[in-house]
């Protein structure tokens, strides 16, 4: 799911999300968010932080669950298109 919104700097993304720049860069290195830091990255970052904090998941768990949630979302969109 790619957003066509303008890209944010790491500092802006940190300010918008309340997540440290260091954590954002770690998530980017782990493949949780793309390096363009767009609005979709902000959405994914917020989801990752929710999973990490609320579910007490480590980065590997967050990454796995994020990919599964993306796949579920993709399948839902495909089903809606078929109807």
For the segment 55-70, the average pLDDT, to the nearest whole number, is 90
Q: Domain extents for the chain?
A: 10-82
pTM of model > 0.95: no
Burial profile 40-59: b = 16 or more Cβ within 10 angstroms, e = fewer: bbbebbebbbebbeeeebeb
Burial class (CB in 10 A: 0-12, 13-18, 19+), 37: buried
pLDDT confidence of residue 82: 92
């Amino acid at each position: 799911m790619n957003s066509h919104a303008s890209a944010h700097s790491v500092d802006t993304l940190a300010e918008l999300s309340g997540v440290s720049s260091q954590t954002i860069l770690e998530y980017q290195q782990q493949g949780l968010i793309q390096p363009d830091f767009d609005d979709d990255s902000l959405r994914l970052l917020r989801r990752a932080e929710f999973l990490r904090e609320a579910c007490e998941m480590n980065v590997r768990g967050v990454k796995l669950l994020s990919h599964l949630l993306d796949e579920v979302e993709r399948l839902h969109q495909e089903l809606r298109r078929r109807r």
